[in-house]
Structure 1
Amino acid sequence: MGQTDYDIVIAGAGQAAAQCAQSLRQGGFPGSIAIIGDEDAAPYERPPLSKEYLAGKRDAARLALRKPEYWQEKQVSLLTGRRVTAVDRAERTLTLTDGARVGYGKLIWATGGRPRRLSCPGAGLAGVHAIRTIADIDALKADLVPGARVVIVGGGYIGLETAAVLRAMGHEVTVLEAQERLLARVTSPPVSAFYAELHRRHGVDVRLSAQVSALRGEGRVNGVELSDGSLIQADIVIVGIGIIPNVEPLALAGLPCPNGVVVDALCRTQDPHILAIGDCALHPNAFAGRAIRLESVQNAVDQGKVAADTILGLEKPYAALPWFWSDQYDVKMQAAGLAMDYEQVLVRGDTTAPGFSVLYLRDGRLIAIDCLNNARDFIQAKALITGGKLIDAARAADPSVELKAVIDGEQAA
């Protein structure tokens, strides 16, 4: 099999890859571009998978980030249904799953991650699902019978969004979270407690500090056994316990990949011909104060733009404010900043109902916010977080005071 060469090869076909290719063309890049994706589909949105797509409110065609003709018009070659298995940095060539060889001038690694699997007995039984791709959701929907008993392992955003959709579809749902509270890695106890109560109010059996010891069944799962010996009957098990970054080919090629591939603020790896973006990129983040991976659409889009600028010779370091959202039932949660290493938590409003916000402070400054059906606070908080000014905590905790008026020393308008 011969070799095909491209000026730019983007490994991965998700949001980051699509944005990077788009930004390169918008920036006037004249060379050849190829996107390599292991799915058969052109780049598409992933956030709706656990929401509108699972619920049948949006079809696969409406998930596409661009119309099919866009890629042809922009002369971006889509090499779908295959992935990179090896990187030869000296020769600047890639080997794909079908044996094809692809040469690159610059390689942009945007492969995202794959769902982390359970390691307990029974993890490979039929009826055990993950949520990452269109195919994953199609398989789940094909497996769902009316009134199915669904056990979701993992109380993060993906698990909770899926629980909300499945409850609305009439299924019996149990959520198992190994930590003492939901969303323990990304938010504070008041928000965790709100979501636990929200889901219980909608009929979800939420169990905390629940460790799975085994999945039971003969050929197909029919139960989940917990470490305390209890058994939960299940027709379907959905595992939502995070992702593993797809960086093995780069690690084998000698690039440092402790938890994602290490990049600098311009999305460059230690190899001058290789960049990395999106969920798989371990990047320096000013809002975290250290190198982290960010699994969000915002990060994928912003790093896609940074990588394109880097290739175009425009050095614009990554400095974007992290933000994301989650839709569960009739509650839209919007978060800005990173709720890590905070010293103080302020609650604005009544946590028993949507319409409140939770603020995270460090050194007297706002570093993050979670807004529950409170878009106004979300919009105003972003400026406060990026501004880095001292705020008046007492005023910030008062929901009758607009956030834009809580900078220390300033009076309300």
Structure 2
Amino acid sequence: MNNIFDNTETAFAIKSDSDLEKAYFLFKMIKSEPLVRIGSAVTKFALKSNLPVEGLIRSTVFDHFCGGVSEEDCMPIIDRMYTKNVHSVLDFSVEGKEIENQFDFAMEKILQILKFVKEKDALPFAVFKPTGFGRFKLYQKITEKKILTEEEKLEWERVRQRYEKVAKLAFDYDVPLLIDAEESWMQEAVDDLTEGLMMKYNKEKAIVFSTLQLYRWDRLDYLKGLSERAQKNNFKIGMKLVRGAYMEKERERAKENGYADPICKDKAETDKNFNDVLKYMFENIDKMAIFCGTHNEESSYLMMDLIQKSGLEKNDQRLWFGQLYGMSDHISFNLAKEGYNVAKYLPFGPVKDVMPYLIRRAEENTSVAGQTNRELDLIAKEKKRRKL
């Protein structure tokens, strides 16, 4: 298959020279691990102390990785990407709120987003994070099969109702709904809730999507079990595939608590796991839908190859590629130009509230070998091309 990801003219078609310079500077900064660590600490302190740094954050890291502070604020970016056939997934990225009225607020926000995206072709999905709808410790207690107090039972019922309300509106509006995955020690509670919603709303096609973190070695077996239950209960499986975002935390906890490490032993094994799951889903594509969330070129080529060998159309609505906004434009925009379905996760929210997400993005770029260098090399190549 031809190497389509080398085309930087397509990759950065919507970026001005000034945008490229800013991106180059930002990734240069991110490349330095000590700088990221210090910058993260200083930023947290400045925001906590109400120091006037939001303008600086907004003009650098925020604008590169986020769409804006509100849905309307994101529209210029959404429209610009859509001119190149790259769709957006509005991701309300406010984290760390652990009180009931904040969970209700997050739910109302997702309902609002569903109404917002219903009429917009550029916005094919809605998404939410499980801990936006309920307490982490409650998910954990249920995953660990511990007995709930009467108060916790009522609390869990409210969590379940939030999921139900959002899934029903997604079904009514015919908008696929992506439910993110989080740490392994709370994930089973999320999986069970999501499977119940699939059983109810995915009879004709996948509306509710769960997420598989494929740095976990047990996920293919989980998917095979889910597939058997889907066959038995006559529902379709919607699945977002990602490698995962909590590796260090997962390994540390497993070591501290003396249980088997849930993470694949190395990157090669994770890559194989991801690709094996992708192949399995294509073998069962008549009852599945795939949102392939990856910044990995090899996995992207594999999915392109599987589409071709399966005799499916490039723009089959069961098949989507996804990347994060601000990263891997060489994958997103070149795939879109070739006619594949592509969507960028577009985080948004108040600057202060989105900072945990932004810090994680910066740390991830620093820790993933080669990722930042790849971005820098591609930007440098495009800058050189434009000069010539």
- Higher Cα Rg, which structure: 1
Larger fraction in helix: 2
Higher RCO (C-alpha under 8 Å, 6+ residues apart): 2
Shared fold by TM > 0.5? no
Q: Where on the TM-score scale, by shorter chain, does this alignment land: which range? A: under 0.3
Larger fraction in strand: 1
TM-score, structure 1 normalization: 0.25
